Amino acid sequence: MKKNPLILPERRQRILNIIVSEYIASGVPVGSEYIARGYRLRVSPATIRNEMACLEEQGFIVRPHISAGGLPSDRGYRFYVESLMQESGIDLEEREAIRNLFREAGQDPDQWARLAVSILTRKLHSIALATPPRTAKCHFRRVDLVNVGDLLVLVIVVLEEWRIRQRILGLEIPVGQDVLEAMVTKMNELFHGLTSKEIRQRARGLSPLEARVTQAVVEVMETEDMASREQFYVDGWRYLLDQTEFLRSRCVQGLARALEEGSLLPSLSRSLEEDSRVKVTIGRENQETYLEECTVIMSSYGSAGRRGTVGIIGPKRLPYNRAIPVIEYITEVMSDLVNEAYT
């Protein structure tokens, strides 16, 4: 993520790096005297004050008042992330622990998303969001029909996305299980791998009962298509509300409303590329006004036309050098799971 490291003179870069790192750690504006005492820059506090004045003039830091220390602006955070930050990385033991947790989740994509949220909230103390890997449209894998009464049939629809849905279908006259088995064989051969739209197009020359079962299958799939666009998992409010600067901002209500309505994640996901690169959006770089006091770090994962998203929402004062590699690694693990399950 390193870009344009020479926009600032080296000493000014070092001072900005100190200000951002110290402010992330403490939440307290960083003064020139503190920098002079705590870091061997071999310059006087007066020189540091001059450099801080230049950083303020260039828009990299702000100061609550003229005699106060400095804290990063959105531009300062951006420069830090792209040019100054040293990623802390994830050691081999932590990587293996994360991967083992996902292995234990089996082949359940919804469980992958729930687990990603749990890991991110615990490790990064922020709101975490994730969606299961989904195709643009779900695909038919098979149907099973089971007599559950004289005039009732249980329709079990299995989708290629490892989802199973059921529906009860009422009959006008009893139908034997052997007839239902013959219908199952025919429909599974006819519709395997198709979307709901493709099934409608291929559903020709069916018996009245076959047509009714097909309609039930299509309705289940269309409902699933609608639900998959809205489904996501979220947790971590308790961590964000511990941040005093977040509580003082006006974004809490807007963010809560957007999460409740389900409008936030689709908006964030639309701007993601499909190459799994982590995207960091800081403060007013976010399009939504209720995120102007937040940093959003999101990534896309998956392959073979099945993709999901994972990421966090936190205060601008978050440990980027830790958050970015953690999200990158979880993205890598979840992409591997999708490859193993669907290719």
Distance CA 314, CA 113 (A): 19
User: Which whole number is the average pLDDT over 14-42?
Assistant: 93
Whole-angstrom distance, CA of residue 132 vs CA of residue 134: 6
Asked whether the predicted pLDDT for residue 73 surpasses 70, the reply is yes
**Close Cβ partners of 153 (under 8 Å, ≥ 6 residues apart):** 145, 146, 147, 168, 169, 171, 175, 180, 213
The two three-digit tokens of residue 230, written as one number = 């809205």
Check residues 91 and 247 and name the one with the higher pLDDT.
Answer: 91
Q: Which of 341, 320, 317, 307 is nearest to 103 (CA)?
A: 341
Confidence (pTM): 0.75
Confidence of residue 291 (pLDDT cuts 50, 70, 90): confident
Question: 101-126 b/e with 16+ CB inside 10 Å = b?
Answer: ebeebeeebbebbbbbbbbbbebbbb
Average pLDDT over residues 193-209: 93
Collect all residues with Cβ–Cβ distance below 8 Å to 234 and sequence separation of at least 6: 117, 127, 128, 129, 259
Integer Cα distance of 11 and 274 in angstroms: 38
The whole-number average pLDDT for the span 43-56 is: 94
